Amino acid sequence: MELPKENIRDIFYNHTGNLIHKWDHYFDIYEKYFSKYRGQKINILEIGISHGGSLQLWEKYFGEHVHIYAIDINPDCKKLQEENTTIFIGSQSDKDFLAHVSSQLPELDFIIDDGGHTMEQQLVSFEMLYMKVKEGGLYIVEDTHTSYWDEFHGGLKNPDSFIEKSKNLVDSVYEYHVVDKSKIRIDEISQHINCISFYDSIVVFEKQLRKQPFHKQIGRKTITPYEPVELKKKTFLDSIKGIFKKEEAHPFSVNDGGITEIK
């Protein structure tokens, strides 16, 4: 089957099949992240398929070599299963169900959560399924504007919303630069987040094990280094605290790759 030449927005607006519901600005985000997968043999998971129109959209866009795994809570969605789709019926907030689904899945190129959009559903699905994404793959959560809506158990600055939890994970991406690591999340999931991108109503996680960074100096010294006076100085109270608590090495020193000086 030859791939259509249209971009994903054009495919959507020319669609005459099963019902699809999408925000228009999502198509620019899809094109940015998904274009490299067109025509490739890939496995994807979509949470929430409703009338099944998105299944048709993905097949048209990616081509005949895509296998679409899908989750929906509505048993009626099972009838939408076709040769290139595998549909699981159950709740995305049911950990036992998701564990079963996970055991049936291959490594996935990406996951799209377009399910029920409540905080529990998004958070539980992320925790249970993120590690099924292959290295270099994507985990995408859509309609994250519900993090600002009370009826979805969100609300502006609600610490238990998906958006606020995702913001906290930004600190985890900076793990190697944080002095007090007890204040951030460090686990298998956080260490496999290489990048988090926030868009209007979409959060994209790029899955890749982060290596410890290091900085390196190479070359010939030419000036007398400037001693910065702008940095915060250690206070008397800091000195007192240091007597009772072992001072940790500064991350900049820990990550120092040394200097190769040319004379």
At 102-114, the pLDDT tens digits run 999 999 999 999 9
Burial category of 135 from C-beta neighbours within 10 Å (exposed 0-12, middle 13-18, buried 19 and up): exposed
Q: Which two tokens stand for residue 234?
A: 């250690």
Render pLDDT for 27-43 as a digit per residue (tens, 0 to 9): 999 999 999 999 999 99
- Which of the four pLDDT bands, split at 50, 70 and 90, describes residue 124? very high
Residue 66: per-residue pLDDT: 98
Instruction: Enumerate the domain spans of the chain.
Output: 8-207
- 74-78, 121-125, 249-253: which has the minimum mean pLDDT? 249-253
For 125-143, write each residue's pLDDT tens digit: 999 999 999 999 999 999 9
- Assigned CATH for 8-207: 3.40.50.150
Which pLDDT tens digit goes with each residue over 47-100? 999 999 999 999 999 999 999 999 999 999 999 999 999 999 999 999 999 999
* Per-residue CA distances from 188 to 128, 131, 143, 177, 209 (Å): 12, 8, 26, 18, 9
Q: Which long-range contacts (CB under 8 A, 24 or more apart) does 126-129 make?
A: 126/162, 127/189, 128/95, 128/98, 128/99, 128/102, 129/45, 129/98, 129/101, 129/102
Distance CA 185, CA 189 (A): 9
pLDDT digits 0-9 by tens, 173-212 = 999 999 999 999 999 999 999 999 999 999 999 999 999 9
Asked if residue 240 has pLDDT above 80, the reply is: no
Helices (H), 39-161: 53-62, 95-104, 119-129
| Tokens 């292959």 -> residue | 134
Say what the pLDDT of residue 243 is. 66
> In a 10 Å sphere around its CB, with 0-12 CB exposed, 13-18 middle and 19+ buried, how is residue 229 labelled?
exposed
* In the predicted structure, residue 147 carries a pLDDT above the cut 80: yes
| DSSP annotation string for 56-71 | HHHHHHH-TTEEEEEE
User: For residues 114 and 16, what is the distance between their CA atoms, to the nearest angstrom?
Assistant: 21
